[in-house]
Structure 1
């Protein structure tokens, strides 16, 4: 199964987690790592190129740090530009039908903060509903997310372990 991981981190050089994940992903033969901030520093997205990338893969993963209860801005801009009516959705928009879709998210806050009664009051499943709705609208199958929380408190061994767990999650999920 060919997997496309779309990485969206505006300061990946400063991120222990997303940088480690990206590095580990690049060692896999059936995974294409596509870093939006590296590819589009001018924020001018090549829509046809992006759509071709999507078409050539079976599984799509959005990897990002959780920013203000969503993704970094370039990933949102990418969605607006690339997932167009008549291509990704609408009566003629069937190009993504049947593909797998999942999220790989890191949070600075601990898991306890993301639940009913927690600091943020909502679970990660509730907060990622817009992504689940995107999968539904585009005919993709939403798979369980890979979420690593409390990343500021992790040691180097835990960061390395998380990268291995991430690879297993995105390659073994069905």
Structure 2
């Protein structure tokens, strides 16, 4: 965790209402929390009453060049506290201030049940995963942020022992590369 907002390279907005039972989310948090310049905001730990410290969250958001939304897709939506965080922190009158979020990057790191084949028009879920992430993508774009390709863990329900660990390490690697690239100016 960075010692101050000045050293913040990535803000990880993490939302899992059942972290104590989740083999995937715990691995992800452990993997990314140790990266230098990364601040992990575990929304359900910080705000179990859904009363969000908007001022603090905005400070961190302004300081971070990269925002990563980490969650497990449930009923085709983000967890309720992540939605509350977005509604409270990303108020249009705050985000529309020129330059406030423009040029920052964001992406979703999402775990979902089922295979990638199930997330297409002719698949079980009838739509590609990007359709379910569209509210996040559009929110970021409306704020002038660059929306990056999501980091997706398909088959989160399969129970393959090493899959969660691989997913967490791949996300850690992606974050580390982004942070290194940002530090180098690339």
Give the match for residue 9 of structure 2: 2
Is the 1:87–1:94 Cα contact (8 Å) retained in structure 2? no
- 1:136 & 1:27 partners in 2: Cα distance? 29
1:73 and 2:75 matched = no
- Cα RMSD over matched residues? 1.5
Pair 1:119 & 2:155 matched: no
Residues 149-168 of structure 1 mapped to structure 2, 5 A cutoff? 149-168=154-173
Residue 145 of structure 2 corresponds to residue 140 of structure 1: yes
TM-score, normalising length: structure 1: 0.93
**Cross-structure match for 1:95:** 100
Return the alpha-carbon distance in structure 2 between the equivalents of residues 12 and 167 of structure 1: 18
Gaps of 5+ in 2: 1-7, 182-186
What residue in structure 2 maps to residue 16 of structure 1?
Answer: 23
Shift of 1:27: 1.6
Do the aligned residues in 2 keep the contact of 1:8 with 1:72 (CA within 8 Å)? Answer: yes
Contact 2:35/2:176, CA 8 A, preserved across alignment: no
Task: Report if the CA contact (8 A) 2:24-2:164 is conserved.
Answer: yes
d(CA) in 2 for partners of 1:15, 1:88: 33
Match of 2:51 in 1: 44
Q: Which residue of the other structure, out of 61, 70, 78, is the alignment partner of 1:63?
A: 70
Q: Secondary structure at the match of 1:106?
A: strand
Q: Secondary structure of 1:42's partner?
A: coil
Quote the offset at 1:93 in angstroms.
Answer: 5.0
The structure 1 segments of at least 4 consecutive aligned residues displaced by more than 6 Å after TM superposition are: none
